[in-house]
Amino acid sequence: MLNKYRLYNETKGIWEFVISDEEPTVLPDNPTDTLRAGSVSITVTDIRQADGTKIVASLINYKGLRYIEIDKRTGELISAGFTYATKQFSLSLNAQINISALNQSKDLLTYPVNYNTLNDEDEYDVIDATDMGNMYMTALATKKGMIDSGTALKQQIRAAIDEAGVDAVIDNR
């Protein structure tokens, strides 16, 4: 019987949910993270489809594997960065923090501000606060677009009722 479990991820400081046919002893999506001892509890028992039929654990596991594939591809696309003024810029976590900080202080900066491109291969001179805001919004829209496209694929997988339906969802981003 499939149950929905609630688990606390100590490493990330968040609650996670898992559907499984046995009580989880690790965090399936983040197996290297630390699971808080005693935090596992059942939130929904005997999960069934809308028509009342039982959900097969292997389908749930297969969907989970596909979600991980989509998340990995989304990460790869985000790592490729964003294009602004014909130049490619990084969207690494550090780059996101840096561009966010620059955008927040854009009215206090002395322009032009030199901003390095992806892998420091080139540079771009941000000419004013408007240019900085436009660059930041381009980065934000690029990342959001990648995340949203992954979410759309996962929703299609979530709606699939069998393995063939899951297989029909192709990540061609």
What digits encode the pLDDT tens for the residues 87-109? 999 999 999 999 999 999 999 99
Contacts of 130 (CB under 8 A, 6+ apart): none
First to last CA, the chain: 36
Cβ neighbourhood burial of 22 (10 Å; 0-12, 13-18, 19+): exposed
pTM: 0.66
Provide the pLDDT for residue 31.
Answer: 80
Provide the pLDDT for residue 83.
Answer: 98
Q: Quick check: 53 pLDDT over 70? A: no
Tokens of 75: 């990460």
Higher pLDDT residue, 81 or 22?
A: 81
Residue 49: band (very low, low, confident or very high) from pLDDT cuts 50, 70, 90: low
